[in-house]
């Protein structure tokens, strides 16, 4: 729960429920504000802007539903909207309940349903059902005062949450009945149990509502809706001792303006280029909707694709291009945002269920001391290559096994894709490699040629051809013929693991092992006819070779 804005540090415990927070807000001696919202999205925006409560405006909800503010939407349809708003937020919602959707009996049911949905309070106005917006026409008929008092009592008697608030809205000023009638009605509604009185006005100045407040004194909280007298400085309301100001419809109106502008521009331009920069990105929309939480929950609750899969990570080299940074530790142990690269890679693997992880150490091997990993050492690291390091872990390459460089970072979905792939030997290839290193083309190491290029419209394998196949993997492939860059991340099946072990043994026997890279190993396997499948990815990863990569890594996290 977010802290109640009025809770003093070390003060009494915060009220726990939304209704109790609305109650505290209405009763507080300071001026408080409720901001209009009309759906889950706008409600979230209101809470994100640090408003302590939400006004669920009848005008705005109707307008957002494409109907008029004349009870054209049924109360259960409004209730559906309120449920989304309440679920999307933690701050209390005061709902504009119009005239209560009927007589006392209808209101009783409404109040019970609102309590069930954790709506903090309702405001009802003393007009007739079906209502008309107060700013339309003149001298609208008012409800019989006694009948309205009965409605308030019925509402209070029906609330299942003891802190649920009922605000009585007095329309006497707008209907032209004058201050005395407004005060008479406010007094009656107060006596019937209303928790606060909303005195409404459609004048362009605040004179009549301030006159009301002066005459009313402090008999109970007074709420204002300064839609028409918006030019009145807020300090005037504060000085007058007003409880709460409602900014009643401004998100809905702002949304109409923004949507009309963007629509007409796209219609005119027949292009999105002119609007893209001034609207939130799709990524921002995902963040706004809390997609991170879902990804986290998926990791917690979905079966792990990597269960039973091992990993061998090659982390024997120093990373000399990083200079001083690797004077006393291998590059995989450089910290990015307070955690070594290798630890982050191990976290990603573990999150996907890959628990049996072996790291091949070499340079400054004592510095690779992460908990719960296996280590093997290539003590000849200074004179040997990646294949020799991998062969130090020969007996760990068993069953399904991920083989990766120890200095790469990637998003979880990349590992998911790789673990889901069915081939005996599968490599991940970045189809967007040109973007990754546009500023430093020399950094691209391992380009590949595949059986077909990446097709953005074909996210899964081609149903006719199956997965793309590796054709060539080398560091002398020209940019023109390349289909992507190998990430330094591969997976082998049990059969693939056996082939890798046999090939490493063959390389040891023919004397090529010591200087060979993983590229050489994979190339030899392909030369012998072994199929190597490709999982295409589109960015979302990086490796660390030079100091500038560390800055990218910080941004990546
Ligand atoms: C609403 O927001 O629907 C209101 C306030 O009832 S007003 O439109 O100002 O009457
Ligand atoms: Mg209304």
Instruction: Determine the residue of 38, 57, 78 to mutate for testing ligand 1's pocket, defined as the one with the most ligand atoms within 8 A of the Cβ atom.
Output: 57
DSSP 341: H
Model pLDDT, residue 3: 33
Asked if residue 219 has a cis previous peptide bond (ω within 30° of 0), the answer is: no
* Ligand 2 center to 111 CA (angstroms): 17
Model pLDDT, residue 476: 86
Spell out the SS3 assignment of 118-163.
CCCEEEEECECCCCCCCCCCCCCCECCHHHHHHHHHHHHHHCCCCC
Q: Residue-wise over 474-513: b if at least 16 C-beta within 10 A, else e?
A: beebeeeebbbbbbbbbbbbeebbebbbebbeebbeeeeb
Domain 18-251 has CATH 3.40.50.2300: no
Residues with CB under 5 A from ligand 2 (ion): 58-59, 96
- Single out the catalytic residue among 39, 69, 424, 549: 69
Q: Where in the chain is the domain with CATH 3.90.550.10?
A: 303-556
Q: What's the CA gap between 197 and 461, in Å, rounded?
A: 64
Contacts of 11 (CB under 8 A, 6+ apart): none
Q: For the chain, list residues with pLDDT below 50.
A: 1-11
CB atoms under 10 Å from CB of 280, counted, come to 9
For CA atoms 74, 77, 83, 85, the dihedral sign is: negative
Q: What's the CA gap between 286 and 519, in Å, rounded?
A: 38
| Residue 214 burial by Cβ neighbours in a 10 Å radius (0-12, 13-18, 19+) | exposed
* Domain at 303-556, CATH class: alpha beta
Is residue 311 helix, strand or coil?
strand
Instruction: Determine the residue of 78, 225, 229, 252 to mutate for testing ligand 1's pocket, defined as the one with the most ligand atoms within 8 A of the Cβ atom.
Output: 225
Instruction: Determine the residue of 35, 59, 60 to mutate for testing ligand 1's pocket, defined as the one with the most ligand atoms within 8 A of the Cβ atom.
Output: 59
Q: Residue-wise over 362-384: b if at least 16 C-beta within 10 A, else e?
A: bbebeebebeebebbbbeebeeb
Query: Which residues form the pocket of ligand 1, taking CB atoms under 6 Å from any ligand atom?
Result: 57-59, 96, 133-134, 225, 227, 248-249
For CA atoms 348, 349, 353, 355, the dihedral sign is: negative
Helices (H) and strands (E) in the chain, counts: 20, 21
Phi, psi of 342 (to 5 degrees): -65, -35
Beta strands in 79-232 (DSSP E): 93-96, 121-125, 165-170, 196-199, 222-224
Contacts of 549 (CB under 8 A, 6+ apart): 542, 543
Closest residue by CA, ligand 1 atom 2: 57
Q: Where in the chain is the domain with CATH 3.20.20.60?
A: 18-251
Q: Residue-wise over 63-95: b if at least 16 C-beta within 10 A, else e?
A: bbbeeebebebebeebbebbbebbebbebbbbb
Query: Is 69 an annotated catalytic residue?
Result: yes
Model pLDDT, residue 319: 85
For CA atoms 65, 67, 71, 72, the dihedral sign is: negative
Beta strands in 268-316 (DSSP E): 310-315
Q: Which residue shows structure tokens 């051809």? A: 465
Q: Which ligand 1 atom is the nearest neighbour of the CA of 58?
A: 3
Model pLDDT, residue 321: 83
Closest-approaching ligand to the CA atom of 225:
1
Q: How does DSSP assign 269-281, residue by residue?
A: HTSSHHHHTTS--
CB atoms under 10 Å from CB of 304, counted, come to 16
């Amino acid at each position: 729960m977010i802290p109640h804005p009025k809770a003093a540090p070390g003060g009494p415990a915060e009220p726990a429920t939304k209704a109790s927070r609305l109650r505290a807000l209405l009763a507080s001696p300071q001026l408080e504000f409720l901001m209009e919202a009309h759906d889950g999205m706008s409600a979230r925006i209101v809470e994100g802007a640090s408003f302590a409560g939400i006004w669920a405006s009848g005008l705005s909800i109707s307008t957002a539903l494409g109907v008029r503010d004349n009870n054209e939407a049924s109360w259960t349809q409004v209730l559906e909207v309120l449920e989304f708003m309440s679920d999307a937020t933690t701050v209390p919602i005061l709902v504009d309940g119009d005239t209560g959707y009927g007589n006392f009996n209808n209101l009783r049911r409404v109040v019970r349903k609102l309590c069930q949905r954790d709506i903090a309070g309702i405001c009802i106005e003393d007009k007739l059902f079906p209502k008309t917006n107060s700013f339309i026409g003149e001298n609208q008929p008012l409800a019989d005062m006694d009948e309205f008092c009965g409605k308030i009592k019925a509402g209070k008697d029906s609330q299942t949450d003891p802190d649920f608030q009922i605000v009585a809205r007095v329309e006497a000023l707008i209907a032209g009945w004058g201050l005395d009638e407004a005060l008479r009605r406010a007094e009656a509604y107060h006596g019937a149990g209303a928790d606060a009185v909303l005195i409404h006005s459609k004048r362009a100045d605040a004179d009549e509502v301030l006159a009301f407040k002066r005459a009313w004194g402090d008999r109970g909280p007074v709420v204002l809706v300064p839609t028409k007298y918006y030019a009145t400085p807020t300090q005037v309301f504060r000085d007058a001792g007003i409880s709460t100001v409602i900014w009643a419809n401004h998100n809905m109106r702002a949304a109409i303006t923004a949507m009309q502008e963007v629509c007409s521009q796209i219609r005119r331009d027949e292009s999105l280029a002119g609007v893209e920069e001034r609207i939130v990105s799709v990524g921002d929309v995902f963040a706004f909707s809390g997609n991170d939480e879902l990804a986290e929950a998926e990791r917690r609750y979905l079966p792990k694709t990597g269960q039973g899969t091992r990993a061998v990570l090659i982390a024997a080299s120093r990373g000399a291009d990083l200079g001083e940074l690797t004077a006393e530790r291998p590059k995989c142990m450089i910290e990015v945002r307070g955690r070594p690269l290798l630890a982050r890679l191990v976290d990603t693997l573990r999150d996907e269920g890959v628990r049996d992880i072996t790291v091949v150490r070499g340079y400054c091997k004592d510095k690779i001391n992460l908990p719960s990993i296996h280590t093997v050492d290539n003590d000849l690291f200074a004179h040997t290559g990646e294949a020799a390091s991998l062969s130090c872990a020969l007996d760990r390459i068993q069953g399904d096994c991920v083989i990766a460089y120890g200095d790469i970072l990637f998003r979880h979905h990349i590992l998911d894709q790789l673990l889901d792939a069915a081939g005996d030997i599968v490599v991940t290839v970045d189809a967007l490699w040109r973007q990754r290193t546009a500023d430093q083309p020399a950094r691209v190491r391992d380009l590949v040629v595949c059986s077909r290029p990446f097709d953005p419209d074909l996210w899964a394998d081609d149903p006719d051809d199956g997965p793309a196949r590796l054709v060539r993997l080398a560091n002398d492939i020209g940019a023109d013929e390349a289909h992507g860059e190998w990430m330094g991340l591969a997976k082998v099946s049990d059969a693939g693991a056996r082939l890798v072990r046999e090939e490493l043994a063959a390389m040891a026997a023919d004397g090529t092992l010591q200087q060979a890279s993983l590229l050489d190993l994979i190339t030899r396997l392909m030369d012998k006819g072994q199929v190597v499948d490709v999982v295409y990815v589109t960015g979302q990863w990086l490796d660390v070779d030079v100091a500038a990569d560390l800055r990218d890594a910080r941004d990546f996290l």
